[in-house]
Amino acid sequence: MRSIIPGGNSEQCFLCYRQATDKHHCLHGIRRKKADEYGLTVNLCRHCHMQLHDKGLNDLFLEQTAQMVFEEKYGHDEWMREFGKDYL
């Protein structure tokens, strides 16, 4: 599914605007599959993606972004039903 996050489908990294090489699920672990189903993904460059996974940089920002975009479309109650965690 294409990303529902504005700018999430860009060829540029969502965080630094370099050439994107990786698709990142804004929610991970048990929430990753649903993040993919709802299009809660962004494209990242390799550097930003590794910084995120190795050091947690921008992780909360991307989780919050996913929640805000989802809630604009489906509402907070649906967010809590689907993901069960409030990042805001």
Query: Mean pLDDT throughout 33-40?
Result: 95
pLDDT tens-digit series, residues 1-13:
789 999 988 999 9
30's CB contacts (< 8 A; 6+ apart) are none
What pLDDT does residue 56 have?
Answer: 86
Confidence band for 40, pLDDT divided at 50, 70 and 90? very high
Confidence band for 75, pLDDT divided at 50, 70 and 90? very high
What pLDDT does residue 8 have?
Answer: 86
